[in-house]
């Protein structure tokens, strides 16, 4: 964005200034400002069928109990969708579903709306998020009783962007957790949050919601002026039994110029420094207040790290499927190896081709043809999933072949064992 464009935004009406200042100020979302499939507010606790609040609950250690363990499967996915809404015919199963169903699903989107001036500085457009979540709900609950789309949802899912034109309508979801609600099915949404183009959505099997507690969300903007949400992160904190988890969806500084990788490192440090989960006075147990205080952490998103090779050499290695040689020039691997970012974090072995940058609606990288803006990019693994903490084991790391964006989506499957009380 040019400086003149930013300066001109100060000459808007009062309402526009309010939206601009709200996005500009170093403001952090509180732990109640997110969406979920049940009615909840900051002054009153929603309760599950046992009468225990899902969003702030203490697990008291029972007397004379032995320690037991329970196994869970976590599916995490990330996708930069390039500001496009999927058609209703899009089958998300190869990205959303794994061969063995998971207990917890975490989906992170980047550029869920185009990163234009109106979206970065103006009123947040949640229409695309509603459509993507409807598609996720339909895919996760396929085959479940009454898990079908309404006519309104089907209509909304057919809306798409034409240039910069935005959809004008969206079905509004009325949060409700009952079996006979608008949200039947095996999986329910426990948290979703949007910040400009970033969007995270977390789902769990309905049968395990009684062991999931202390759900909180924190957003950090690292974009324009160092605080706007065109770049940054949204993090979700929660507890499974007595084990704390944190899921981070991020979109880091873009660009393949010299020093851009250092700016991405700075974004990561800022996210770790500024993400905060305020402690609730209603919860007696000690809970993590920062990302690194959690026991198990999964970080996903468009991290934007590039490959430090010429375009010709990169395409030659891709053609030979020599990904190990290509990864030797991967900026993220290099910066990690030097201890400059994600020190101690793990990533699964990459056995798939770079996920960026494709010509939308094709299988061709922009190296093989002109992109929409006439620019070309050296292919790179921009879309990544990393983790930190003992007790997380990754059993799958792959990409899916959807062509609607200039990125290919990536997913990872983890198994984890958590401690619980055994009466």
Report long-range pairs for 1-7 (Cβ below 8 Å, ≥24 apart). 1/117, 1/120, 1/224, 5/117, 6/224, 6/225
Number of C-beta neighbours around residue 12 at 10 A: 14
pLDDT of the residue at 76: 98
- Tens-place pLDDT, residues 194-241: 999 999 999 999 999 999 999 999 999 999 999 899 999 999 999 999
The answer to whether 55 touches 46, Cβ cutoff 8 Å, is yes
Using the predicted structure, report yes or no on whether residue 60 has a pLDDT greater than 90: no
Greatest Cα pair distance in the chain: 69
Number of structural domains in the chain: 1
Segment 277-322, tens digit of pLDDT = 988 776 667 899 999 999 999 999 999 999 999 999 999 999 999 9
| 17 within some domain | no
**CA-CA distance, 9 to 122, in Å (whole number)?**
10
Residue 10 has pLDDT above 90, yes or no: no
Token look-up 């395990």 returns: 208
Q: Is the pTM of this model over 0.75?
A: yes
Is the per-residue pLDDT at 394 higher than 60?
Answer: yes
The answer as to whether 3 is a domain residue is no
**Residue 325 counted as domain residue:** yes
Rounded to the nearest 5 degrees, what angle is found at the Cα of 128, between the Cα atoms of 126 and 131?
110
Q: How much is the pLDDT for 270? A: 97
pLDDT at site 286: 85
Give the pLDDT band (50/70/90) at residue 20. Answer: low
Length of the chain: 423
Residues with Cβ within 8 Å of 252's Cβ and at least 6 positions away in sequence, in order, are: 222, 231, 264, 267, 268, 301, 302, 303, 304, 305
Q: b or e along 45-77 (b: 16 or more beta carbons within 10 Å of the residue's beta carbon)?
A: eeebeeeebbbbbbbeeeeeeeeeebebbbbbb
Question: Nearest 5°: phi and psi at 341?
Answer: -160, 150
- Poorest-pLDDT segment among 123-127, 155-159, 165-169, 415-419: 165-169
Distances from the Cα of 420 to the Cα of 61, 62, 260, 417, angstroms:
9, 11, 44, 10
pLDDT category, 66, cuts 50, 70, 90? low
Lowest-confidence pick of 145-149, 361-365, 389-393: 145-149
Residue with tokens 């790179």: 380
In this structure, of 139-148, 165-174, 218-227, 269-278, the range with the lowest mean pLDDT score is 165-174
Residue 7: inside a domain:
no
> φ, ψ for residue 56 (rounded to 5)?
-155, 105
pLDDT score of 172 more than 50: no
pLDDT in tens, 326-348: 999 999 999 999 999 999 999 99
Residue 134 reports pLDDT greater than 90: yes
**Sign of the CA dihedral 49, 296, 26, 10?**
negative
| Mean pLDDT, rounded, of the chain | 81
Please give the residue that has the higher pLDDT: either 77 or 63. 77
Does residue 369 carry a pLDDT above 60? no
Cα distances from 414 to residues 98, 211, 297, 395, in angstroms, run 11, 18, 11, 6
pLDDT at 8 over 50: no
Q: 80-92, pLDDT tens digit by residue?
A: 999 999 988 899 9
176 falls in which pLDDT band (50, 70, 90)?
A: very low
Of 46-55, 93-102, 137-146, 339-348, the poorest mean pLDDT is in 46-55
Range of the domain at 290: 26-40+55-422
- Residue 5 resides in a domain: no
| pLDDT for residue 258 | 86
* Confidence (pLDDT) at 382: 98
- The tokens describing 189, both together, are 């949404």
Report if residue 9 sits inside a domain.
no
Please give the pLDDT value at position 73: 97
| Order of strands across the sheet that contains 66-80 | 187-195, 198-205, 104-110, 66-80, 410-422, 392-399
> Could you tell me if residue 117 is inside a domain?
yes
Residue 11 lies in a domain: no
Q: What is the CATH number of the domain that holds 299?
A: 3.60.10.10
Q: Could you tell me the pLDDT band of residue 38, with boundaries at 50, 70 and 90?
A: low
């Amino acid at each position: 964005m040019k400086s003149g464009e930013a300066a001109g935004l100060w000459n808007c009406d009062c309402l526009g200034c309010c939206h601009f200042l709200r996005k500009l100020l170093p403001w952090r979302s509180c732990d109640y400002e997110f969406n979920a499939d049940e009615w909840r507010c900051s002054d009153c606790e929603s309760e599950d069928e046992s009468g225990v609040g899902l969003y702030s609950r203490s697990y008291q250690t029972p007397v004379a109990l032995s320690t037991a363990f329970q196994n869970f499967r976590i599916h995490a996915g990330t996708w930069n969708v390039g500001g496009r809404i999927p058609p209703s015919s899009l089958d998300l199963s190869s990205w959303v579903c794994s061969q063995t169903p998971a207990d917890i699903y975490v989906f992170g989107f980047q550029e869920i709306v185009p990163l234009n001036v109106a979206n970065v500085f103006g009123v947040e457009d949640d229409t695309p998020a509603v459509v993507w979540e409807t598609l996720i709900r339909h895919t996760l609950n396929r085959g479940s009783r009454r898990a079908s789309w309404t006519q309104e949802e089907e209509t909304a899912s057919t809306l798409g962007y034409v240039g910069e034109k935005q959809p004008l309508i969206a079905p509004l979801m009325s949060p409700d957790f009952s079996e006979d609600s608008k949200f039947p099915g095996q999986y329910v949404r426990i948290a979703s949050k949007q910040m400009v183009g970033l969007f995270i959505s977390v789902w769990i099997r309905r049968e395990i919601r009684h062991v999931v507690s202390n759900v909180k969300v924190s957003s950090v903007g690292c974009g324009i002026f160092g605080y706007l949400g065109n770049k940054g992160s949204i993090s979700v904190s929660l507890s499974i039994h007595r084990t704390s988890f944190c899921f981070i969806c991020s979109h880091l500084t873009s660009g393949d110029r010299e020093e851009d990788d250092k700016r991405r490192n700075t974004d990561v440090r800022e996210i770790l420094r500024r993400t905060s989960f305020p402690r609730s006075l209603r919860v007696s147990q000690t809970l993590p207040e920062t990302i690194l205080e959690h026991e198990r952490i999964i970080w996903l998103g468009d991290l934007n790290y590039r490959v430090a090779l010429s375009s010709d050499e990169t395409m030659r290695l891709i053609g030979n499927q020599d990904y190990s040689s290509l990864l030797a020039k991967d900026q993220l691997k290099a910066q990690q190896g030097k201890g400059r970012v994600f020190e101690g974090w793990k990533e699964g072995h990459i056995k798939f081709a770079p996920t960026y940058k494709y010509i939308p609606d094709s299988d061709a990288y922009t190296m093989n043809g002109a992109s929409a803006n006439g620019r070309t990019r050296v292919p790179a693994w921009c879309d990544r999933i990393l983790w930190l903490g003992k007790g997380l084991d990754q059993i799958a790391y792959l990409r899916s072949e959807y062509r609607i964006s200039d990125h290919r989506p990536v997913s990872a499957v983890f198994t984890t064992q958590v401690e619980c009380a055994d009466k």
